[in-house]
Structure 1
Amino acid sequence: MRILMLEGFDRGNFSTRWRTYCVGEYLRQHGHQVRYYHLLLNVDEAPVLRGLPAVVQQAALRLIAAVRAVLARRWCRWAGRVIVLNVYSSRWLTRYLNRRCGGYVYDTVDFADTEDFIRLHCAPGWRGMPQRLKMRMNYRTFLAYVDNARIVCTNNFHCIEQAGRRGRKTHLFIDPIPNEYLKPLPQREPGAPFILGWTGSFATTRYLEEYIDVLTFFTRGRGVRLELMEGEPRFAAKANATVVPWTVDNFKQHLPHWSVGIAPLPSSVPFTGKFPGKILQYMAAGIPSIVTPKGMATHFITHGETGFYANTADEWIGFIHHFIEHPEDVVRMGRNARADFEARFSLEAQMPAYEHALSLNDTGGA
């Protein structure tokens, strides 16, 4: 089948790599013709914008996205199946795609809990008003893509519930990391330093702020190292942590050497639809996790077998202590986590059901 992957991801986003490129490569290897079409460009892809003020760059990129949405119709006519990935712009495009034979698949990873993200990421009062307005407008566009899709494919239960209430067929598709992308250590060296690790972004480092006392309890004078992949430097300095720049090589090399991966979330926000992809990455790397049990986090960890759920500061301290004092549990739970990843969440485990749900093996559009 001819498949068009029409996507609006930031190309640096973790989900981009799994849901777009890894899925696309798998489909190619299984006989499909796959074409990627990026609605959104970044400044590096539009060099004429370099050096211009940021507000001008953003306005120009939005205009380019609108033009590219119009031009996308050519490739939509070529495709037997269109998969729209995380697009929240050009609402008119939903109606055009819906009129096509077979409609389109909407694959989305965000906006299941917009108000939670507004509370965390938007400044209060009038200073945060433009960003709040933009996020709520994006949410309305998100709902238009949901309402016109033949099936909604997503990585979180809350979004599935939203789509189901609106009468849409749904398919749960966890970000699919290939088995070979991250390789666990064959064995851990005796006497190796105990390393707590966290993957995220500059913006999501704020999720750690509530836990600064827990982290510094271990990083100051107790021999524990803390590595933040893409963390915010000022927070890292306060936590006595090391910031590791995100590159593919750093990602593949550092994660398997961590002792435990952490995924804390602020206690003040429900995070009903939060998908903590970092837990999946820790599992793929063969390391156990300590996790705040919110949103999709409760779908990943088996408490005491592949990691621990922690709600309070005392629980966080207790579980970190447990791993320090019981290195055999670091190994045992890490192996269990990797086995669970391979069985439930890897690209190879999920793709047969994905192809079936999206009817990608139909003869039409070949």
Structure 2
Amino acid sequence: MIKVAAVTSGLNVPSSRFRVRQYLPYLADYHVIANEFCPWISMYQGASVSWMPRFVTGTSLAVLKAVSRIPVLLRGRVYDITWLQRELIPGYYSFEHMLKKPLIFDLDDALWLNFNKRQSHFEKICRNADLVICGNSYIENKVSSYDVSTVIIPTPVDTHHYLLNCDDGNSERELVVGWIGTSSNFSYLDTIKDILISSVRAHKNARFLLVSDREYLPLRELGGKYEFVRWSADNEVHQLQRMDIGIMPLKNDQWSLGKCSYKILQYMACGAAVVGSRVGMNSEVVQHGVSGYLVDTSAEWGEALHALLTNETVRRCFALAGRATVERRYSVEANLPKLVAAFRLVLENNK
């Protein structure tokens, strides 16, 4: 039995939920026991406990975040492997050298961009690891430049949890265009907000559903054709299942190239037809015209939304092809053997 210390960044941090926590119930079938070390203060979203005083900010919050990492430094020594999902303290090389070896470092974003002038810190974290698991090829290309061992494992979807929506077949019903994500990504919606609003307005049975931690105010212009639902882990799948069309706009920049297309995978898993920017991993996940639309310009966004809002057959074909893509390449079942192989590899190399 392999014992793994899984080090995450917070209770509701997406990378912790999807790249680590989703796997935990299934690892025992492969003779792996993984215990999660989740800090009581989220590394990226402030306090994840209700009793945290509001005045705890800045330096004091940073100190508490560092303190919250002490348990894994002490108790992690009894495990066979440390599986570190992102750096311990965002943007810094801190206690990584104190973690139990062998160490696997897991990356799902272009995190080196967060290190600003401390690029050497990011390199040290990578070089300190026995293996770096990368969410896509763009990330792997960067990490490989440090002459470290890498493997690509995409962010998986638990297809037993993310189930297809139940389409009632009513062609006159309301059609829901949707977006799910944190407010930190609203800048991507900014790039298509005008065409999005005009497209929803132009179709009498269309409405827009936003699932996030707060409202995206420009969409209020849609009036009754806009609905905001505050995100929670409990309502996430249900809200995704309400969507007929899921969108993932991106900018063509380094940060977007590091994204692992998880919104698109969630939409596909729940049976929504997808439209995404032709950027980075989106172009690997979506087969244009078969499992979704890939677009570059505002005009193409408008054309793709119009095509899906007016053609039930295309929506249904994209939905079925998308679900099949997730099950075949991006499900927990498809990627769990790769993760277990990574565990066994680092153990074998460290005998």
Superposed displacement of residue 77, structure 1:
1.3
Separation (CA, whole Å) in 2 of partners of 1:228 and 1:85: 28
Q: Which residue of 2 aligns with 1:197?
A: 178
- The amino acid of 2:93's aligned partner reads R
Give the match's secondary structure for 1:278: helix
Superposed displacement of residue 35, structure 1:
1.6
1:245-324, aligned counterparts within 5 Å? 245-266=230-251, 271-324=256-309
Q: Which residue of 2 aligns with 1:14?
A: 14
- Give the one of 210, 214, 217 matched to 1:228: 210
Q: Report Cα offsets for 1:38-79 as digits up to 9, x if no partner.
A: 3461434372x3132xxx334233212323444422223101
Give the match's secondary structure for 2:306: helix
Superposed displacement of residue 206, structure 1:
1.8
Separation (CA, whole Å) in 2 of partners of 1:41 and 1:18: 18
Superposed displacement of residue 136, structure 1:
1.5
Superposed displacement of residue 171, structure 1:
1.4
- The amino acid of 1:81's aligned partner reads I
Q: Which residue of 1 aligns with 2:200?
A: 219
Give the match's secondary structure for 2:57: helix
Superposed displacement of residue 106, structure 1:
0.0
Superposed displacement of residue 215, structure 1:
1.1
More off after superposition, 207-216 vs 346-355 = 207-216
- The amino acid of 1:109's aligned partner reads D
- The amino acid of 2:315's aligned partner reads V
Q: Normalising by structure 2, what TM-score? A: 0.87
Q: Which residue of 2 aligns with 1:206?
A: 187
Structure 1 pair 254–279 and aligned structure 2 pair: CA distance change class (3 A): same
Q: Which residue of 2 aligns with 1:162?
A: 142
Structure 1 pair 187–216 and aligned structure 2 pair: CA distance change class (3 A): closer
Superposed displacement of residue 250, structure 1:
2.4
Separation (CA, whole Å) in 2 of partners of 1:13 and 1:70: 19
1:22-61, aligned counterparts within 5 Å? 22-39=22-39, 41-42=41-42, 43-45=47-49, 47=51, 49-52=52-55, 56-61=56-61
Superposed displacement of residue 362, structure 1:
5.6
Superposed displacement of residue 266, structure 1:
3.1
Where does the alignment leave 5 or more consecutive residues of structure 1 unmatched? 115-133
Q: Report Cα offsets for 1:138-191 as digits up to 9, x if no partner.
A: 754332211111110121222101111111111112111211111112444312
**Root-mean-square deviation over aligned CA pairs:** 2.6
More off after superposition, 187-196 vs 174-183 = 187-196
Superposed displacement of residue 33, structure 1:
2.3
Give the match's secondary structure for 2:288: coil
1:114-129, aligned counterparts within 5 Å? 114=113
Give the match's secondary structure for 1:72: helix
Q: Which residue of 2 aligns with 1:77?
A: 77
Q: Normalising by structure 1, what TM-score? A: 0.84
More off after superposition, 83-92 vs 255-264 = 83-92
Structure 1 pair 303–24 and aligned structure 2 pair: CA distance change class (3 A): same
- The amino acid of 1:5's aligned partner reads A
Q: Report Cα offsets for 1:337-366 as digits up to 9, x if no partner.
A: 00110000000111112211231796999x
- Do the aligned partners of 2:252 and 2:279 also contact (CA within 8 Å) in 1? no
- Do the aligned partners of 2:162 and 2:270 also contact (CA within 8 Å) in 1? yes
- Do the aligned partners of 1:88 and 1:141 also contact (CA within 8 Å) in 2? no
Structure 1 pair 237–140 and aligned structure 2 pair: CA distance change class (3 A): farther
- Do the aligned partners of 1:212 and 1:239 also contact (CA within 8 Å) in 2? no
Give the match's secondary structure for 1:359: helix
1:78-93, aligned counterparts within 5 Å? 78-89=78-89, 91-93=93-95
Superposed displacement of residue 15, structure 1:
2.2
- The amino acid of 1:111's aligned partner reads A
Superposed displacement of residue 217, structure 1:
1.2
Give the match's secondary structure for 1:45: coil
Separation (CA, whole Å) in 1 of partners of 2:348 and 2:33: 13
More off after superposition, 334-343 vs 318-327 = 318-327
Separation (CA, whole Å) in 2 of partners of 1:19 and 1:321: 34
Seq. identity, %: 20
Give aligned pairs, total: 338
Superposed displacement of residue 276, structure 1:
2.7
Q: Report Cα offsets for 1:113-155 as digits up to 9, x if no partner.
A: 72xxxxxxxxxxxxxxxxxxx7426754332211111110121
Structure 1 pair 208–175 and aligned structure 2 pair: CA distance change class (3 A): same
- The amino acid of 2:154's aligned partner reads I
More off after superposition, 104-113 vs 290-299 = 104-113
Q: Which residue of 2 aligns with 1:122?
A: none
Q: Report Cα offsets for 1:267-322 as digits up to 9, x if no partner.
A: 57783323331011111112221110112111100011100111111111111111
Structure 1 pair 216–103 and aligned structure 2 pair: CA distance change class (3 A): same
Separation (CA, whole Å) in 1 of partners of 2:346 and 2:53: 44
- Do the aligned partners of 1:88 and 1:138 also contact (CA within 8 Å) in 2? no
- Do the aligned partners of 1:40 and 1:61 also contact (CA within 8 Å) in 2? no
Separation (CA, whole Å) in 2 of partners of 1:140 and 1:236: 41
Where does the alignment leave 5 or more consecutive residues of structure 2 unmatched? none
